[in-house]
Chains A and B, each alone.
Chain A
Amino acid sequence: MSSGALELSAVAAAAAIRDGSLSAGELFDAYRERAGADRAAGEQGLNCFTWVADERPAQAPAGGPLAGLPLAVKDLFCTEGVPSQSGSRILEGYLPPYTATAVARLLDAGASLLAKTNQDEFAMGSSNENSGYGPVRNPWDRARVPGGSSGGSAAAVAAGLAPWALGTDTGGSIRQPAALCGIVGLKPTYGAVSRYGMIAFASSLDQAGPLTRDVADAALAFAQMVGRDACDATSLEFPHAITAPSAERLDGVRIGVPDELTGDGIEAGVRACFEAALARAEELGAQVQTVRLAHAPHALSAYYVLAPAEASSNLARFDGVRYGLRAEAQELLEMYTSTRHDGFGAEVRRRIMLGTYALSSGYYDAYYGRAQRVRTKVAGDFREAFAEVDFILTPTAPTVAFALGEKTGDPLAMYLNDYCTVPMSLAGIPAISIPCGLSAGLPVGLQIAGPAFSENRLLDAAHAFEHALEFDGSGARV
């Protein structure tokens, strides 16, 4: 196998396997070696992985649309017999008896499970510094964070340690690390991909999606994951088949730019890349106009009530009784409190307390109820905007990758990373982040959002941008 095989996109590698010029087993071994080396290096490496396969699958599934391609999967997806810890010490060594639907569908389509990726604990974080298994480093600059919470997935794909990876996005957890690592990250419409087997953070927001080297790969993965699942009552039948993106122009496409998400707080280098992308859009035939998302500035506040509220309930099951960590104690209450104190990290404990407070009798309406009303208004703003434009563009994150430790002491500064991505999460609409340039040698992400179920058009538009912007991701390769 030539070393160039590791540079192939997933689509290209699958084609090579199908035409016999590439061996799926050899490709798996090559990635396994790379991923294994990073795993062995621990925090001296990128620390992308919490588990790496120690041998190639007994029967490498060379058939199917995914032709045996290796797949890295965020730790929070349950994988039968393989550690699934959601980045938390409270689930250290937990081996689920079943596999998440999204993963199972990709495996059924011919993917091979290569590795589980590091993440912020229970997907709570924007820098991957909240992992119970150590922080992940950004392959563009190892002193910097990869973003989060799908930081391990993003760093692994950017560094070439995996051809592609599965992540989840609750308020930006696919898009923001994709932006900070210079890769593509797709957050689908809420309900498009089953949540069954995803260890829940905030159920009404969590959504699985791919992190890939290019837009065509994102479409290929998404096409295999999408669709209603009888095990997830909130999943939906996608109204049409997912097609491979091919557009190279944006003729007649109406692009909206909301002042509310592109003004203060966006750092200059990011703004410059974003404005260059808008200029390029016009060259490709698009019309760019301003749209109003009046309630978007309140989305972050609402999100940080709703998501912790749901999390406080979702994380109640980790009580030490049936699985995972159990602290030694004389009495039941002491066992509960010690287990949860020892097993959860500081950010998780903070959000459980926030969420518990927000749901408490007497406070519910002022916090949870009010945040739900904001959510409704945010979604309404998007509906109105999409009557005027086809897509809404923003920078994915206000800054490029920041230094490890830079924001860990200031949760509010950390939460601002999600400022541009959270409104789409609250509205349940799809959004994709693609790399649109470098600022001081670090990648900048362009976020493209569309109405619910517009993924085909969204991927096509992203493909046209990708083609025009010609981003070079090689600076991150290991």
Chain B
Amino acid sequence: MSERPAAPGTAALEPVIGLEIHVQLATATKMFCGCELSFGEPPNTRTCPVCIGLPGSLPVANARAIHFGLMIGLALGSELAPRSIFHRKNYFYPDQAKGYQISQYDEPLCRGGRLGEVRIHRVHLEEDAAKLIHVGASGRIHGSDASIVDFNRSGTPLAEIVTEPDIRSAEQAGEWLRLLRGTLRQLGVSDVNMEEGSLRCDANISLRAAGTSELGTKTELKNMNSFRFIERGIRAEIARQQKLLLDGGQVLQETLHFDPDSGAITSLRSKEEAHDYRYFPEPDLLPVAIDEQMLAAAAAAMSELPAERAERLRGDAGLSEDSAQLLAFRGELGDFFEAALAAPTDPPAGAQALANWVTGELLGRLDDGQDPADSRLEPAALAALVGMVGAKQISVGAARQVLDRLLAEGGEPGAIVVAEGLAAMDGSDELAAIVAAALEANADAAERVRQGNAKAIGPIVGQVMRDTKGRADGTEVSRLINEQLGL
């Protein structure tokens, strides 16, 4: 075995991550023309001379998009520029009708700000490109037979949010993005749907010796379209850079693509191949001048943001830090929780217990990203169910069965409990008889429990639960087993 030079331990390298998020704004019309935004219409049906770049056409900025941009800036605590300007970003690509994209460059709409523990660098407005569809087996540009262009998306308004490099792990990136998504959803400025592309994320990733402040060479991981892929992609790129550096290599500044299917990271272009975009002020548009009226309108349109909601849920409802944060950052869960909390039930459901059920049992039964409001479960039904558990009218196990039924069919938990005979069996003779039968059927286990092996009680409790269809209260069953074994 050859000797290797002492490599710094992996713990000595710290990831430094910044995100660039493109948010499609939910305006009625496009950024620079009057075409309606497209949601899966037949290709090239939501187009006009402006968004297909016909000769002589001119852009006119969408006031609603600027309003949404200001709302985002307010939500992120950014400095709102009294005067910002659009630039032309020049490059040739078939998805780019004019040969340039109208974007903001050195005078963006919003500068600075913070969301959670991550500082915001800037927020600017721009237009989306058209959609390229690569025809052929691969579905990607390489190996396709032809590429066709759908201009329905061309000119869709985008806000680009750029963070400072304040993120230190893939998990933190995912969690912060969820907070951002919740914030944008709460603002109502975007559908923020990653799968549909209304929220897209690039990550700038570098590594450095922990405790130092100098930034290492970064790579840019492009266009990851789900939270899971973002976390996986960042993890994979951190691992790739780590291996490179530990092997004595160097990270090259380049733009990368993460393939979620294979997990492979491939280079799209290197620093040397980077475009010279030849930015210059867009002469077809006037500077965006923000007046008091526009600021007041943006401020008036703001609703409670997730960070504020978390604070309220902690303070007013007395929830734990974790529960409050989860319910606030996933606004649809928070909405369901608050609706359930407001429902009058007898016996009442405690706030923390209800929060635990929403973020635990309920969330675990939803599809990824599903809004519980879209299920058959009514908030009042969940509140009633949690109230019954709290009052020990049914066991937790029985309540889980009821929740399954409520999600599948809807209805009232009380009625399901009666119909299914799931009411708790507290200390009744019937339960004592079932416990006795279970001890008999599990004589070996019973003997081990008697000799002091507490863990051996499991199969006996299991038998009782099966026989009672989960109606029995676990604590009561254990008490009866011990009592009957004379312990």
Q: Does B286 contact A (CB under 8 A)?
A: yes
Q: Is A316 an interface residue (CB 8 A)?
A: yes
B55 adjacent to A96 (CB under 8 Å) = yes
CB of A317 within 8 A of CB of B286, answer no
A302 to B: closest C-beta gap in Å: 14
Pick from B60, B97, B276, B278: contact of A313, CB under 8 Å: B278
| B149 and A321 form a contact (CB under 8 A) | yes
Instruction: Report which of A96, A316, A361 forms a contact with B98, defined as CB distance below 8 A.
Output: A316
- The 8 A CB mask of A9-52 against B (1 = contact, 0 = none) is 00000000000000000000000000000000000000000000
- Which residues of A96-145 have CB atoms within 8 Å of chain B's CB atoms? 96-98, 100
Instruction: Report yes or no: B100 in contact with A313, Cβ–Cβ below 8 A.
Output: yes
Residue in B49, B55, B94, B279 with the greatest tally of chain A CB atoms within 10 Å = B55
A97 near B90 (CB under 8 angstroms)? Answer: no
Beta-carbon contacts of B86-98 to A below 8 Å, as 1s and 0s?
A: 0010101010011
Q: Is the CB of A197 within 8 A of B286?
A: no
- Number of inter-chain CB pairs below 8 Å: 101
**Chain A residue at minimal CB-CB distance from B286:** A233
B99 & A197 in contact (Cβ 8 Å cutoff):
no
Pick from A96, A199, A233, A361: contact of B59, CB under 8 Å: A233
Give bound CA distance, A200 to B92, whole Å. Answer: 18
B211 at the interface (CB under 8 A from A): no
Instruction: Name the CB-closest residue of B to A357.
Output: B278
Q: Is the CB of B54 within 8 A of A310?
A: no
Check if B58 sits within 8 Å of A316, measured CB to CB: no
Is A386 engaged at the interface, CB distance under 8 Å to the other chain?
no
**A84, B283: Cβ atoms under 8 Å?**
no
Per-residue CB proximity of A358-384 to B under 8 Å, as 1/0? 011100100010000000000000000
Query: Which of B57, B99, B286 touches A234 (beta carbons < 8 Å)?
Result: B286
Are B56 and A197 in touch, CB under 8 angstroms? yes
Near B by CB (< 8 A), chain A positions 313-362 give 313, 315-319, 321-323, 332, 336, 356, 359-361
Check if A359 sits within 8 Å of B278, measured CB to CB. Answer: yes
Please give the distance in Å from B87's CB to the nearest CB on chain A: 10
Q: What is the CA–CA distance of A329 and B63 in the complex, to the nearest angstrom?
A: 42
B47 to chain A, nearest CB (A): 10
Query: Which residue of A197, A204, A360 is within 8 Å of B283 (Cβ)?
Result: A204
Q: Closest residue of chain B to A333, judged by CB?
A: B92
Query: Which chain A residues border B420 with CB–CB below 8 Å?
Result: none
Pair A336/B55 contact, Cβ less than 8 Å: no
What are the residues of chain A within 8 A of B54 when measuring CB–CB? Answer: 78, 96-98, 322-323
Partner of B278, one of A98, A202, A322, A361: A361
A425 close to B (CB within 8 Å): no
Q: Does A203 have its Cβ within 8 Å of any Cβ on chain B?
A: yes
Interface residues on B, range: 20 to 34
> How far apart are the CA atoms of A100 and B92 in the complex, in Å?
26
Q: Does A237 contact B (CB under 8 A)?
A: no
Question: Are B56 and A199 in contact (CB-based, < 8 A)?
Answer: yes
Interface contact B284-A203, CB-CB below 8 Å: yes
> How far does the Cβ of B32 sit from chain A's closest Cβ, in whole Å?
9
Cβ contact within 8 Å between A313 and B94: no
With A313-B278, A316-B99, A317-B55 already in contact, the answer to whether A359 and B49 are too (CB < 8 A) is no
Q: Are A319 and B56 in contact (CB under 8 A)?
A: no
State the CA gap A204–B59 with chains docked (Å).
14
Indicate whether B437 reaches chain A with its CB closer than 8 angstroms.
Answer: no
Given A313-B88, A319-B92: A96 and B284 interface contact (C-beta under 8 Å): no
Q: Is B53 an interface residue (CB 8 A)?
A: yes
Tell me the complex Cα distance, A109–B91, Å.
41
Q: Taking the complex as formed, is A192 at the interface, i.e. its CB lies under 8 A from any CB of chain B?
A: no
- B285 lies within 8 A of chain A by Cβ: yes
B52 interface residue per 8 A CB criterion:
yes
Bound complex: CA A91 to CA B54 (Å): 11
The reply to whether B278 and A356 contact each other, CB–CB distance below 8 Å, is yes
Query: Could you say which residues of chain A place their CB within 8 Å of the CB of B276?
Result: 360-361
A318 proximity list for chain B (CB < 8 A) = 55
Contact (Cβ within 8 A) B57 A196: yes
Contacts of A203 in B (CB 8 A): 283-284
B61 at the interface (CB under 8 A from A): yes
Give 20 CB contacts A-B under 8 Å.
A78-B56, A196-B56, A196-B57, A197-B56, A198-B56, A231-B58, A234-B283, A310-B283, A313-B88, A313-B90, A316-B90, A317-B53, A317-B55, A319-B92, A319-B94, A322-B53, A323-B54, A359-B278, A359-B280, A360-B278
Chain B residues in the interface with A (C-beta under 8 A): 49, 52-61, 88, 90, 92, 94, 97-100, 149, 276, 278-280, 283-286
- Known A233-B60, A317-B99, A323-B55; 7 more pairs at CB < 8 Å: A77-B56, A98-B54, A232-B60, A309-B280, A313-B278, A316-B100, A332-B94
Of all A-B residue pairs in the complex, the 6 with the closest CB atoms, nearest first, are A316-B99, A359-B278, A204-B283, A203-B283, A197-B56, A199-B55
